[in-house]
């Protein structure tokens, strides 16, 4: 098996300090969480920008400041900004971050009900726009799929020459209103991607560690972080992203899987050679 790539989803757009005091808002807090998660074993950092009061933003300047600060603290790590933004943002707003010289970013591959009246809209035309723009700008897309139909959309767009290999999927499972995160759901998703594709799994809430275990066992990769789950165990808050990453490292050791460095991750995902001059 390949070494295990761990992604740390540092903050997201929805979790607040009312949920957990460890969620980062400020750039200094983001840098702290990035450094500690990287040192614990994360090779990819999934980043949403926030203003100091916690408001989520796709503001290009705020992203640039955040990414530059993280890069200074973690020179080799893969920084993966979100093009998902927050519910209610339009496609142009969400894509502003890709105007920066990025190595990698997320690409959401379908619409999702987020509970109540919240709908995370990703039309087929949105997905095409995101995919073409990221390809033109040399940004490696992580294909976020919340259910099996999203994988089918990716494969259709791949056949049309819109989404290009290598394809790396992120299965986001356990979101309210989307596919659950049971073992059968995990296996259905991983068995639906083509040969040669890679995948990571992000379990939301209580699904985080059970899905991490399945991914470790079956040769996949893992995303954890305060964006997805704020608990180290039932009723016990994780004391930051590094706490969650460290737990996955311990799980991986039990299966004999080594942890990937950032450059290992680039090789496994068949990314372009790391170029300090090209990217933030």
Q: Is 126 exposed, middle or buried (0-12, 13-18, 19+ CB in 10 A)?
A: buried
Query: Percent of the chain, pLDDT > 70?
Result: 98
Contact 11, 22 (CB under 8 A): no
Q: Say what the pLDDT of residue 88 is.
A: 87
pLDDT for the residue 240:
98
Give per-residue pLDDT as tens, 165-223.
999 999 999 998 899 999 999 999 999 999 999 999 999 999 999 999 999 999 999 99
pLDDT exceeds cutoff 60 at 268: yes
Mean pLDDT in residue range 101-124:
93
CB 106 within 8 A of CB 80: yes
Q: What is the 3-state secondary structure (H, E, C) of 30-54?
A: HHHHHHHHHHHCCCEEEECEECCCC
Flag whether 134 is in a domain.
yes
Number of domains in the chain: 1
Residue 273 belongs to some domain of the structure = no
pLDDT at position 277, please? 62
Q: How far apart are the first and last CA of the chain?
A: 31
User: For residue 272, what pLDDT band results from cuts at 50, 70 and 90?
Assistant: confident
Quote the pLDDT of residue 114.
86
Q: What was the pLDDT predicted at 85?
A: 87
- Structural domain of 37: 6-268
Q: How confident is the prediction for the chain on average, in pLDDT?
A: 95
- Residue 12 CA: distances (Å) to CA of 7, 25, 241: 13, 10, 12
Task: State residue 280's pLDDT score.
Answer: 76
In a domain, 212, yes or no: yes
25 lies in a domain? yes
pLDDT average, residue stretch 1-30: 97
In a domain, 277, yes or no: no
pLDDT value, residue 279: 77
Q: Specify the pLDDT at position 273.
A: 60
CATH number at residue 13: 3.20.20.70
Average pLDDT over residues 25-39: 98
The first and second tokens of residue 274, run together, are: 């790391």
253 DSSP β-pair partners: none
Average pLDDT of the residues in 239-258: 98
Query: Looking at residues 239-265, what average pLDDT do you find?
Result: 97
Whether residue 275 lies inside any domain: the answer is no
Say if 27 falls within a structural domain: yes
């Amino acid at each position: 098996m390949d070494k295990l790539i761990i992604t740390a989803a540092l903050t997201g757009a929805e979790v607040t300090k009312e949920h957990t005091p460890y969620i980062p808002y400020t750039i200094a807090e983001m840098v702290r969480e990035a450094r500690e998660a990287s040192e614990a074993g994360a090779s990819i950092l999934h980043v949403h920008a926030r203003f100091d009061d916690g408001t989520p933003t796709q503001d290009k300047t705020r992203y640039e400041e955040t990414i530059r600060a993280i890069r200074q603290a973690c020179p080799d790590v893969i920084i993966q900004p979100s093009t998902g933004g927050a519910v209610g943002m339009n496609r142009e707003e969400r894509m502003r971050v890709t105007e920066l010289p990025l190595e990698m970013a997320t690409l959401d591959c379908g619409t999702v009900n987020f509970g109540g009246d919240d709908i995370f809209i990703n039309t087929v035309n949105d997905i095409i726009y995101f995919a073409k723009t990221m390809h033109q700008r040399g940004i490696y897309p992580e294909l976020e799929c919340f259910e099996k139909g999203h994988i089918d959309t990716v494969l259709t767009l791949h056949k049309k020459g819109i989404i290009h290999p290598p394809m790396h999927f992120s299965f986001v499972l356990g979101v309210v209103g989307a596919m659950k995160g049971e073992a059968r759901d995990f296996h259905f998703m991983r068995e639906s991607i083509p040969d040669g594709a890679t995948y990571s799994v992000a379990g939301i809430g209580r699904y985080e560690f059970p899905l991490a275990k399945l991914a470790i066992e079956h040769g996949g990769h893992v995303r954890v972080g305060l964006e997805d789950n704020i608990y180290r165990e039932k009723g016990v808050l994780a004391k930051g992203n590094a706490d969650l990453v460290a737990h996955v490292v311990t799980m991986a050791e039990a299966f004999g899987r080594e942890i990937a460095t950032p450059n290992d991750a680039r090789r496994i995902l068949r990314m372009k050679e790391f170029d300090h001059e090209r990217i933030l």
